[in-house]
């Protein structure tokens, strides 16, 4: 648990530690509720009961279920995750793909991200938070490409966030659209395809064709 | 409207034309309901009112909302869609990507597929129907690859369904996961990336590495 004070709505500032603990407790209750009941079944009452934070406080600080879900996503984005660093771009992309497959292969790890993706179909606020979450997450992957350029593996200029998205996209697509199973072979294929596309310059700024 | 008789539950067979018309009317009502209210808001009562088919008939033949959604997807898969045939694999993949972007760029065209993808988060029956729909749809794309092999553009052996999925995946990923806007440049990038991966052999049967 961090002692950082999150951004507060005016008039709700409290000592940093207590605020952060409250926010984390609320976030935990939101994640549990999403995992157990999904977005359509999540209620402010449920979060109040499972966080120990009074319902009126939840309404005042988060506005309602949409705000609670969006803030849980904001908080998820404040973690210290860094992209893989295996010594080669091929290894990094493969490790990244396997992280995605491992997450969706573990029901307890998959529950929260799945619920967030589902919530975004019904809540514009959740959709905005999801866009911000993945935007920031994939931006961190720029370092993978920077290192590959430094090692002389690829020319400079590819969009690292686009490459990270390209590795993830076919795996999320199977999990959430075509509803096909995910396995290690899928991860390897996603990484190999993204690497080939990087090498072909598909993620460099568009040129006239 | 087709006059083909769809598969029937025992004891519910009726003359083909009337059955097909009923099924299409029910499907239309399901699509309208999904577009207007999403899966959580769809009810058998709504479908009865908008299709003119009695509620007890809907329950008897489709079981309920989950069965109605799954059958609408089954019916959507019975269309005569064929993959693009532009004379080159590059052109075909690009045309396919633009079809996806055009669909999601048009709110009225996007509503039903979006609602189906959302429904699969809440209904295992919808998820199975979605898997069957995309499996069959992408299988049709094998002809794109066959033609490219015949033209000598690529070696034989790539999985056409996987390639079609690879073109679609980054676009669906932006639409439904990262919630980013889609435009023609995204379509071109998806097609270029998939083509590079095909050429690199990413969609041929896995070899030991």
The predicted-structure confidence for B58-109, as pLDDT tens digits, reads as follows 999 999 999 999 999 999 899 999 999 999 999 999 999 999 999 998 988 8
Q: Which residues of chain A lie closer than 8 angstroms to B114, CB-CB? A: 121
CATH number at residue A117: 1.10.357.10
* pLDDT for the residue A169: 98
Residue B208 pLDDT class (50, 70, 90 cuts): low
Question: Of A28-42, A152-166, B4-18, B50-64, where does mean pLDDT reach its minimum?
Answer: B4-18
> Does the pLDDT value for residue B5 go beyond 60?
no
Q: What is the pLDDT of residue B207?
A: 58
Tokens encoding A183: 């396995």
CB A50 within 8 A of CB A33: yes
Task: Please indicate, yes or no, whether residues B145 and B180 belong to a single structural domain of this protein.
Answer: yes
- Is any Cβ of chain B less than 8 angstroms from the Cβ of A184? no
CB contact under 8 A, A202 and B189: yes
Q: How confident is the model at residue B170 (pLDDT cuts 50, 70, 90)?
A: very high
Confirm whether A55 is domain-assigned.
yes
Alpha carbons B169 and B150: distance in angstroms, whole number? 26
Q: Evaluate if residue B4 carries a pLDDT over 80.
A: no
Q: What is the residue range of B152's domain?
A: 89-199
Chain A: residue whose CA lies nearest to B137:
A178
Q: Two tokens at A112?
A: 């929260």
> Tell me, what's the pLDDT at A5?
42
Close Cβ partners of A2 (under 8 Å, ≥ 6 residues apart): A20, A78
User: Last residue of a domain, which of B76, B97, B118?
Assistant: B76
Apex CA B66: angle with CA B63 and CA B69, to 5°?
110
> What pLDDT is stored for residue B205 in this prediction?
80
Helix %, strand %, coil % of chain A (to 5): 70, 0, 30
Q: Are A71 and A93 in a shared domain?
A: no
Contact A153, A166 (CB under 8 A): no
pLDDT at A93 > cutoff 80? yes
Cite the beta strand spans of chain A per DSSP E: none
pLDDT tens per residue, range B131-140: 999 999 999 9
Does residue B51 sit in the same domain as residue B94?
no
Tell me the shortest Cα–Cα distance from B3 to chain A, in angstroms. Answer: 29
Tokens standing for B149?
């092999």
pTM for this entry: 0.89
Reading the block at residue B158, the tokens are 């790539």
| A24 shares its domain with A64 | yes
Residue A4 has pLDDT above 70, yes or no: no
Domain end: A52, A76, A100, which one?
A: A76
Contact predicate A141/A65, CB 8 Å: no
pLDDT of residue A16: 61
Q: Does B173 touch chain A (CB under 8 A)?
A: yes
User: Is the pLDDT confidence value at A145 over 60?
Assistant: yes
Whether chain B has a CB inside 8 Å of the CB on A165: the answer is yes
Q: Is A37 on the interface with B (CB under 8 A)?
A: no
Shared-domain flag, residues A188 and A118: yes
Inter-chain CB proximity A165 and B188 less than 8 Å? no
Number of domains composing chain B: 2
With a pLDDT cut of 70, the percent of chain A lying above it is 90
Query: CB-based burial of residue A180 (10 Å sphere; 0-12 exposed, 13-18 middle, 19+ buried)?
Result: middle
What's the token pair of residue A113?
A: 């991200």
Residue A206 lies in a domain: no
Per-residue pLDDT of B182-206, as tens digits, reads 999 999 999 999 999 999 999 998 6
CATH code, domain with B51: 1.10.10.60
- Regarding whether A178 and A113 lie in a shared domain, the answer is yes
Chain A residues closer than 8 Å to B65 by CB: none
Q: How confident is the model at residue B36 (pLDDT cuts 50, 70, 90)?
A: confident
**Phi, psi (rounded to 5 degrees) for A60:** -65, -45
The whole-number pLDDT of residue B20 equals 87
ipTM over 0.85: yes
């Amino acid at each position: 648990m961090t002692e950082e004070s999150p951004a507060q709505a005016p008039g709700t500032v409290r000592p940093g530690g207590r605020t952060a603990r409250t926010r984390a407790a609320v976030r935990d209750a939101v994640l549990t509720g999403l995992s157990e009941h999904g977005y359509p079944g999540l209620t402010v009452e449920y979060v109040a009961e499972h966080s120990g934070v009074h319902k009126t406080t939840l309404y005042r600080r988060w506005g309602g279920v949409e705000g609670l879900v969006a803030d849980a996503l904001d908080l998820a984005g404040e973690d210290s995750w860094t992209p893989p660093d295996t010594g080669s771009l091929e290894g990094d992309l493969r490790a990244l793909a396997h992280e995605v497959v491992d997450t969706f292969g573990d029901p307890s790890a998959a529950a929260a991200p799945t619920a967030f993706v589902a919530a975004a179909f019904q809540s514009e606020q959740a959709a905005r938070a999801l866009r911000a979450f993945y935007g920031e997450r994939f931006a961190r992957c720029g370092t993978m490409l920077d290192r590959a350029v430094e090692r002389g593996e690829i020319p400079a200029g590819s969009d690292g966030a686009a490459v990270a998205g390209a590795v993830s996209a076919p795996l999320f697509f199977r999990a959430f659209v075509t509803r096909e199973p995910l396995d290690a072979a899928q991860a390897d294929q996603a990484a190999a395809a993204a690497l080939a596309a990087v090498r072909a310059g598909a993620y460099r700024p568009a040129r006239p064709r």
